[in-house]
Amino acid sequence: MTIEITNNTAIMKRLIFLLLACCAGQAMAQTVQQYNYTYTLEEVLSLAQEQSPDAVRQRNTYLASYWQYRSYRANQLPSLNFSASLPDFSRQYTAWNTSDSAGNLVTEYLPSFTNQVAGSLFISQNLPTGGVILVTSSLDRIDRFSKSFNQYEGAQYRSVPISVSLQQSIFGVNEWKWDRKIEPLRYEEAKRNYLKQMEAISLRAIQYFFDLASAQQNLAIAKFNYANNDTLHKIAQGRYNIGTIGENDLLQSELNYLDAGSSLNQAQLDVDTYQNRLRSFLGFNELVTVSIVLPTRVPKTVLDLEEVMMWSRKNNPDLLGYQRQLIEAEKQVAQEKASTGLQADINLSFGLNQQATDFFEAYENPIDMQTARISLQVPILDWGRGKGRVRMARSNQQVVQTQIDQSLADFEQDVVLKVRQFNMQEIQFNIAAKSDTVAQKRYEVSKARFLIDKITITDMNNAQLDRDRSQQNFVSALRNYWNYYYLLRQIALYDFINNKPLEADFDELVK
């Protein structure tokens, strides 16, 4: 008997353990349920710029431009380098100058087997003139052998404690001069492009926000219509049974009820679809369900065309891009002209050097050394190739100028059009809001009259359609208002509601 009690106790313990395990499993399942977040338009815009994958891509695009500009700035600073050859074996016939028995200079070619070890430390600095100045210190050691490593003849050292040299092109293109014009413009353009692309992210956020808003609005309409048509269909059945309406009205009521059910299913599917799109855009995973709260009003803002045009000309990155393109086209002309004319390079150097068979003696009493060389290249006959390249470059410059002039005209026309469109949106929104109120009131009146059998089912349906359409138009008016506003923000890089230029902490971005 005791054994049975013990076994039953063990079984009970196992059952309790399994029950606790099931409860723990259910609790864990509850912990991985989706999180439901509800956001306003401002919160969606903020999240989009902070954590969306698009924002991460734009930050990395800016960083690439930043490091390109840093490389340009580094090219203006001196650089310290070390070079060496360890070792450099050579076995060949070498010219040797000797004297014969009569004292005459004779050149003989004798086999030579050497190993050279060399090292140099040099500082280079690019000059504003386009040249390069070098400060060098070097040491060479040459080990000589007769025929093999076993027949060592000795070592010789050659030192250059210091040498200063200049390399300068006289008629060539000064790359540094053009870089000083182009690279700061390119970097400033990159910063403004970053701001512009962040506004493009805001525009996409507005699109996804109002896509979901429209879907949620349609779902609310579909739920209301489904419940309402259910009630109306039951009323129609009662009236048909007592003979106050015909079969046609009854069938129309049933058809409306079925259509409302179908619309409800489709509306729910649309909400799920647009929720997933907004969630993915904001960088959330599948455990997050996103809902939105529709704004009920818009700021009272009327934009001045001259102010918008002024900020657009001042801040828009496209205008900086046009300026950079003109300079680059001018640079191309200068390069082609320089490559087809007289070319001359100057190489000057001054320093100290010494040679000896001992390491320390190679640095004793060094003697001075100088080098001066001018190299020329004069085109004599190229069959018009150089002239053709120059003309092509000038033609390209004219094409760029024409395209930019057209782009500037289109840019200003676009600003004018968008300002006019935006200034109409507040009026359109007020009309949509008023229409929504009127349509809702009309629907309530029509429903009340239908319940007392004063209007037909067709009139009731018309009132419902007008109510649905007015609610959808209200959401559309909100979408248009914010869409046009952020389009103008993107063009001018200016917040017209808060009256301040758009900014970003670029120092923080590069940390």
Tell me: pLDDT of 388 over 50. yes
Tell me: pLDDT of 105 over 70. yes
Over residues 456-463, mean pLDDT: 76
Over residues 149-166, mean pLDDT: 86
Tell me: pLDDT of 334 over 70. yes
Over residues 371-400, mean pLDDT: 88
Task: Say what the pLDDT of residue 501 is.
Answer: 95
How far, in Å, CA of 224 to CA of 494, rounded? 42
Task: Say what the pLDDT of residue 81 is.
Answer: 93
Q: What is the DSSP string of 338-395?
A: HHHS-EEEEEEEEEEEEEESSTTGGGSS-EEEEEEEEEEE-----TTHHHHHHHHHHH
Q: Which two tokens stand for residue 145?
A: 């052998």
How far, in Å, CA of 182 to CA of 113, rounded? 52
> Percent of the chain, pLDDT > 70?
91
How far, in Å, CA of 357 to CA of 156, rounded? 4
The three-class DSSP label of residue 498 is coil
Contacts for 475 with CB less than 8 Å, ≥ 6 apart: 210, 213, 214, 217, 294
Tell me: pLDDT of 2 over 50. no
How far, in Å, CA of 490 to CA of 509, rounded? 20
Q: Which two tokens stand for residue 478?
A: 């909100």
> Of the ranges 336-340, 428-432, 489-493, which one carries the lowest mean pLDDT score?
336-340
User: Angle between the 385-451 and 175-242 helix axes, to the nearest 10 degrees?
Assistant: 20
How far, in Å, CA of 210 to CA of 202, rounded? 12
How far, in Å, CA of 142 to CA of 158, rounded? 8
Does 487 or 360 have the greater pLDDT score? 487
Please state the domain extents for the chain: 51-62+179-327+393-509, 81-126+131-172+344-378
How far, in Å, CA of 140 to CA of 120, rounded? 9
Tell me: pLDDT of 117 over 60. yes
Strands of 61-104, DSSP E: 79-99
pLDDT digits (tens, 9 = 90+) for 282-323: 999 888 888 889 888 899 889 999 999 999 999 999 999 999
How far, in Å, CA of 168 to CA of 346, rounded? 5
Q: Give, as one character, the DSSP assignment of residue 511.
A: -
How far, in Å, CA of 93 to CA of 85, rounded? 21
Instruction: Give the angle subtended at the CA of 198 by the CAs of 193 and 204, to the nearest 5°.
Output: 125
Q: What is the mean pLDDT of the chain?
A: 86
Q: Identify whether the C-beta of residue 350 lies closer than 8 Å to the C-beta of residue 370.
A: yes
Over residues 101-106, mean pLDDT: 72
The three-class DSSP label of residue 142 is strand
Instruction: Give the angle subtended at the CA of 426 by the CAs of 420 and 429, to the nearest 5°.
Output: 125
pLDDT digits (tens, 9 = 90+) for 261-285: 888 899 899 999 999 999 999 999 8
Q: Identify whether the C-beta of residue 130 lies closer than 8 Å to the C-beta of residue 176.
A: yes
Contacts for 151 with CB less than 8 Å, ≥ 6 apart: 145
Q: Identify whether the C-beta of residue 126 lies closer than 8 Å to the C-beta of residue 132.
A: yes
Q: What is the CATH number of domain 51-62+179-327+393-509?
A: 1.20.1600.10
Which pTM does this prediction carry? 0.81
How far, in Å, CA of 119 to CA of 279, rounded? 61
